[in-house]
Amino acid sequence: MKSNEALLIIDYTNDFVADHGALTCGKAAQQLAPSITNLATQMLRQGAFVYLPTDVHRPNDQYHPETKLYPPHNVRNSWGRELFGQVNSWYQTNQANERVRLFDKTRYSSFAGTDLDIRLRERHVDTLHLTGVCTDICVLHTAVDAYNKGYQLVIHRSCVATLSDAAQQWALNHFQNCLGAKVVD
């Protein structure tokens, strides 16, 4: 039983994954869908929690730092914010399960401004499995916060992607060498 573990599927939305997404990681991200959904199904069957922290923004929000860095993306109630493809189908099928939860996040880290840490501690979760996009941005910032909060980390190499091969490799090395994460296929 994996009741002390949680899987995070971070930002797997149309804007980050689909061909016409505002900040797409493209084919590298699209190829993750079967691995992510298989892992989610397996972990849920084993008693783990599956959380989907999902980036959300208001267009042209002058107070949000990302407005200066990126074009509008993951705007609430837009096509771009919807979960992508097979992961969306998996979520629609499993969303009524009390161990599955999609929640909003407005910063890179899934912990910043959310109740994620409280929920995990209430459920006695001590190990986080990280998947999603972008490996070197939102997955990385979530991992750093998780590390600082004392969680054990497992990064699934076949379930993370970003905008370049160099950034992907850098992030995977950082997880392992600086955060003590277990990087698995």
Which amino acid appears at position 34 of this protein? P
- Each domain of the chain, given as residue ranges in start order, spans 5-184
66-97 pLDDT tens trace: 888 888 899 999 999 999 999 999 999 999 99
- Residue 2 pLDDT class (50, 70, 90 cuts): confident
Residue 70 φ/ψ, nearest 5 degrees: -135, 155
Residue 180 φ/ψ, nearest 5 degrees: 65, 25
What is residue 14's predicted lDDT score, i.e. its pLDDT?
Answer: 98
- Report the run of H or E that residue 130 belongs to, with start and end: strand 127-133
CATH topology of domain 5-184: Rossmann fold (3.40.50)
- Residue 43 pLDDT class (50, 70, 90 cuts): very high
What would the mean pLDDT of 132-139 be, rounded to a whole number? Answer: 98
| 171: CB partners within 8 A, 6+ apart | 135, 136, 139, 140, 160, 162
Average pLDDT score, the chain: 96
